[in-house]
Structure 1
Amino acid sequence: MKLMFISDIHGSLHWLKRALEKYAEEKPDGLVILGDFMYHGPRNPLPEGYDPQGVAKELNAYKRHITAVRGNCDAEVDQMLLDFPMMGDYTQIWYEGRRIYVTHGHGFSIENLPELNEGDIFIQGHTHVPVADIKEGIYVLNPGSISLPKENNPNSYAVLEGGEFTVKSFTGESVKSIRIS
Structure 2
Amino acid sequence: MRILVISDTHGYVSPAMEIYRNQHEIEPIDCIVHLGDLVSDARALKARLHAEVISVKGNMDGSHSEEDYKILTTEYGNLLLCHGHMQNVKYDTQNLLYRAEELGCKAALYGHTHIPSFVDANGIYLLNPGSLSLPKGGNPGSYAMIETSSEEFRATILFEPPKKPKVTGGYLRDLLNNSDRA
Structure 1 distance, partners of 2:20, 2:4, is 7
Structure 1 counterpart of 2:159 = 169
Q: Which amino acid aligns with 1:97?
A: Y
Distance 1:90 1:62, change over 3 A: farther
Report how far residue 141 of structure 1 moved.
0.6
- Equivalent residues in 2 for 1:10-21, closer than 5 Å: 10-12=10-12, 16-21=13-18
Matched residues, number: 144
Structure 1 distance, partners of 2:156, 2:52, is 20
The CA deviation string for residues 73-93 of structure 1, in whole angstroms up to 9 with x for no partner, is 0148xxxxxxxxxxx711011
2:94 is aligned, of 79, 94, 111, to: 111
Distance 1:5 1:58, change over 3 A: closer
Structure with the bigger percentage of helix: 2
Report how far residue 95 of structure 1 moved.
2.0
Distance 1:127 1:64, change over 3 A: same
Report how far residue 135 of structure 1 moved.
1.4
Structure 1 distance, partners of 2:18, 2:100, is 36
Question: Which has the greater radius of gyration?
Answer: 2
Tell me how large the CA RMSD over aligned residues is: 2.6
Relative to the length of structure 1, the TM-score reads 0.70
Relative to the length of structure 2, the TM-score reads 0.69
Identify unmatched segments of 5+ residues in structure 2: 163-182
Distance 1:115 1:139, change over 3 A: closer
